[in-house]
Amino acid sequence: MTVEDDALTSLRDSGLLNLLNWAAPAAFAATDQIYDEDAGHDQGVIGYLNYKHLTDLMDRATGNGRFELGEDVEGTGSDVLARGIAPEAFRSMPSLTSKAIARNNYRQSPGWAADGYRVLLQSYVFGRVDDIKWGKRSDAKRRVASQAFIGQEALFDNADFGLQHIPGIPDGDGFAGLTLVAAHAFNPVTKQFELYIGQSKNPVFPMDTCWHWRHLLLSGGTPAGGLGLPVSPAPLGDAASIDVDDVVVRMKKPRVSQEAGTSNG
């Protein structure tokens, strides 16, 4: 197995991959509802809306951020979790075990971590995932792209000497694991969208890549001038899981209040 395979397997097992595949189409659909070219909305607005919607959805499903429960609170009603998102998105929201995915920010950049992997968000212009200039992004993204890439051979050699390499960001925040980036793009005009997961890289020469590796999770839509009807990023669970295995896990909110009128889940 490669480093990429190991990462994807762990992300599937923890539920993080399934969470991203659910949240991205729901976020794009929400952005599509707000986007108005006649109001002067541009790529900056699109990227910001996608970022805000994704952050909210990730926190909503994992019980983090404004959905975090106090120690003396046993559950959040479904009416609270369903408020502010499409009914289809709420019905297909992944169920996660308690504390399965923790909020783990890096230098004010929202992140979610599980089993030694942390995922940050980054928007880009559709079709230009290989042109992201990490050095021109936030300081957090520049530092994340400075992580060393440790291949399987290096890990094997270290094991022979009883050593264990712990990946991490140089001068980081003490997170003992690998920080990945979920890169997302949505074009509200053509309805094209993409979602990648990978380990970013600061290029060392002009034609060098900006990724150690990247994996396409989702894509859709109809290119400009193409035939057929555009495929909208509808927030449906089945549509969000075409290219990855579904992960069956339990909900972090173990009990729902009786006032919500739903059973425990």
**Within 13 Å, how many C-alpha atoms sit on residue 200's CB side?**
27
Question: pLDDT band at 250, cuts 50/70/90?
Answer: very low
SS3 241: helix
- C-alpha to C-alpha distance for 192 and 190, rounded to whole angstroms: 5
Question: pLDDT band at 39, cuts 50/70/90?
Answer: very high
114-134, pLDDT tens digit by residue?
999 999 999 999 999 999 999
Judged by average pLDDT, the poorest of 6-10, 92-96, 123-127, 235-239 is 235-239
Residue 148 reports pLDDT greater than 50: yes
Output the pTM of the full model: 0.78
Q: Which among 262, 242, 251 is positioned nearest to 22, based on CA atoms? A: 242
- Residue 187 pairs in a beta bridge with 192
Residue 124, phi then psi, degrees to nearest 5 = -155, 165
